[in-house]
Each structure stands twice: as structure tokens, then as C-alpha cells.
Amino acid sequence: MKDRTRGGFTRRQLIVTTGAAAAAFAIARPASAADTIKVGFISPRTGPLAGFGETDGYVLDLVRKAIGSGIEVGGKSYAIEIIDQDTQSDPSRAGQLAKDLINNRGIDIMLAISTPETINPVADACEAAGVPCLSTVMPWEAWYFGRGAKPGQPSPFKWTFHFGFGVGEFHKTYVSQWNLVETNKKVGVMYPNDADGNAIRANLAPLLQKDGFTIVDPGAYETGTTDFSSQIALFKQEGVEIINSFPIPPDFATFWRQAAQQGLHRQVKIVQVAKTGLFPSTIEALGPLGKNIGSAAYWHKDFPYKSSIAGVSGPELADGYEAASGKQWTQQLGATLSLLDAGFEVLKKSSDPKSKDAVVKTLAGLNTVTIAGKVDFTSGPVANVSPGPIIGTQWVKSAEGSRFQYDYVVTENATDPNVPVAAKLLPYNG
């Protein structure tokens, strides 16, 4: 009796056929391993921080299609392999994924995005291994000082670089935004006990006080707190009219629902939420309490820049995503694409994209424009950092006939006057 598979082939025929197909595939590959640039990409696509990674699949597909069979550097063609990984919002997993991409996948450059919980462990792994790493979407102070750099001392980092907003940008934006509505300038702050919250408390609060704002700080709270009664009672007692918070989405939802139950929302004129107020899904989850929440955008579809790698404008990126997904555009679209813009600009300008020394040298001298604006590592404020804009925004009720519950509008542009202001800031309780 012949040894046959279900399909009627003998096992020997199946092995021969499979082997021939594999050989044909190998011959058809456009480049050898030496001619393939491997790009690691790490972000949170599931878990509590999933809002930051919700649009990454669309952006990665867009870039892969734009690259096609590869890129040319110095007259030589290279295939591109982007290896994307999901941290599941877990810092330990982020570090493990980074080590796997470095040690087992042989990446040439790492791109990491969104929050200290993702970026810092990835950057630390790259610094230890001598792999170029570029990141964005967290306050640069939490990246720089949060990883051990000291004020006034040389940067301890050779391989890791970060671009985007910092405390200085938040300060300019918040002062500009908060002066648009008349208040008593009493600010109730909800800064968690994490890298973001600690950096903001230490650096932003003193700047706001110098500008005449009274900071009412009940102290750092732990992520996952379920009872904010003491903080709410303090804010009511002190008569705060501005709320400023840097929580993960579940924590803000808990806090603000309790605040509404206890009547705090009636006295508050501005609710300025970072981290949570970024995406339509987290605002819609609040129901009517989401209306008129103030936010800040590190990218908006009205930014007047184009992607260098994908060739799309802001409106084209946003409209394309909405058409493909049926969901409302988010600012993360442009942020993720800006990271890929900058990363591929480094590879294209490098004398040898397969040499980590050559890549990091190019990274240190990078001065380019992405879909989110300028990235320039040649001008400070500290080595390895390029600050970027954060623009005042607000979630307002959409016009009748819109597919979406809220419209995300630009209300001030102090950190990038090239971005057009489209709306007047409305009081939260107005």
C-alpha cells in the first residue's frame, strides 16, 4: 500500500513538491539578508493603552505599500522588512519584545511609540545592545530624565533618540488655552505616580504657578485607583475651575464619572486632559460627560505638512483611514506616520543602512520635516532630543448629519503658528 496524503500525493512527492516551491520562493526573493533592512516597530495595540495603537495597522500598511519592493540608498537597492510588535500595554513585555527583535530578529533600527510604559524599556534595551532607536509620543523629560540623564550633565545616551513635545510645549499650550476662558486660575491637578505624572508634577506645575495659576495638588495617585472621593472633595473645597490630568483612560473615566456624581463638573470651566483626551473612542465612552473636554494634539489633520515616506497630506491620511476603517480619525495616525517618516529618512541618508554606527551617526544629525512637523536633533534643548509641538484642542458636539459624535477642533496654536486655529474654546459647563 502506498503512503499517501489526503490530497493523493505520496509523501515523497509532497516533500519534493514542497521543496521545489521553497527553492523557487528563495530564488524569487528580491534581496538576500545582507540586502534587507530590518526595522523593528513596537507599540501598544491592546490593553489599557490600546487607543495609542488603534491606527498603527493602517499606517504600517500604508507605508509598506509606499515602499513597495524597497528603497535605494547610495545607489544600492534594499528590501525592507518592518517587524511590528504589540506590547499589550505591559512595560515588561515591551522590554522583552525589544530584546527579541535585537537578539533573534537582527533589526537594524528600532522605532518605538506611545507612552513611557512602551518607549522607555525599549530604549533601555537598545541602549544596552548598541542598536539605534528612535521614538515619539511621550514628554521628552520623562524619556530623558526618567531614564537616568541628569540636568546640566552630558547625555548618557549614544544609541537612543526621542522627538516630540515636552513640558515647555505643554506650558505654552496650557497658558494659551486657559486664557481663552475667564476663570479664577485655580487648577486641580491629577498627576499619577508614573513617569509621565512625576515629570509633569516636577516641571510643569512650577511654570504654571509663575504664570499666576494656583495649583491644587492632592498628591500622586496610583494607576488603577477606584475611589477619587478625597481628590474631588479637595477640588470642590478649593473652588477649582480648571482640571488638568495625565491619566490612563480607565482612571480618568472613573474619576470624571465620580466627579459628576459629586457635583464637581458644575463648577469646572476647563477640563484639560492629556493621555485620555486624545482619541474619540475614550471621549465617546464618557457619554455626555465628554462634551467640551479640552485636549492637546501632537498631530491634527489640519497640520500643514506631508509625509515624506507615504506622500500623503493630513486630510488625505485622515480621510483614508475613515474610509478604510469606518472609524473616526485620530491624532495617532500622524504621530505614527511621523515616526516612520523620520526613521526612513535616517536610513535613506545613512552611508550604510546595515551599519549601526553609520545609522546612529545619521540619526544624531537628523534635521527633517515629517507629517507632524520638524524633527531636528542638531539644536537641543539637550542631546538626543528634538522637541515638537502640542496644539490646544477641544471635543465639541459634531454638526448635524455627521457620522461621529464629536468633532476635534483646534483652539490655539502657540507651539506651531503654522497650524490654523479653527474654533473658539468653549467653557466645559457652558
Q: Which of 30-39, 114-123, 378-387 has the lowest mean pLDDT?
A: 30-39
C-alpha cell at 331: 491624532
| pLDDT band for position 33 (cuts 50, 70, 90) | low
274 pLDDT band (50/70/90 cuts)? Answer: confident
The model's confidence at residue 31, banded by pLDDT at 50, 70 and 90, is low
pLDDT at 32: 61
Q: Which residues pair with 161 in a beta bridge?
A: 134
For residues 38-63, average pLDDT = 96
pLDDT at 109 over 90: yes
* Contact predicate 358/81, CB 8 Å: no
Give the pLDDT confidence of 225-252 residue by residue, as tens digits: 999 999 999 999 999 999 999 888 889 9
| pLDDT band at residue 1 under the 50/70/90 scheme | very low
Residue 167 has pLDDT above 50, yes or no: yes
Range in 190-194, 274-278, 318-322 with the lowest mean pLDDT: 274-278
Contact 135, 339 (CB under 8 A): yes
Q: Distance (Å, rounded) from C-alpha 379 to C-alpha 356?
A: 23
Q: Which amino acid is at 381?
A: P
Q: Residue 249's pLDDT is what? A: 82
User: Mean pLDDT of all residues in the chain?
Assistant: 91
Q: Is 299:320 a contact under the CB 8 Å cutoff? A: no
How many other CB atoms are found less than 10 A from the CB of residue 182? 10
Residue 175 pLDDT: 97
Whether 295 has a pLDDT exceeding 50, the answer reads: yes
* pTM, two decimal places: 0.87
Kindly state the cell numbers that stand for 352: 550604510
| Residue range 63-67: mean pLDDT, rounded | 97
- Report the run of H or E that residue 367 belongs to, with start and end: strand 367-370
Which helix (H) or strand (E) covers residue 373, if one does? strand 373-376
From the CB of residue 28, how many other CB atoms can be counted at a distance below 10 Å? 7
pLDDT at 250: 87
Q: Is 363 helix (H, G, I), strand (E, B) or coil?
A: helix
| Domains by residue range for the chain, with CATH | 33-165+304-323+330-386 (3.40.50.2300), 168-301+390-410 (3.40.50.2300)
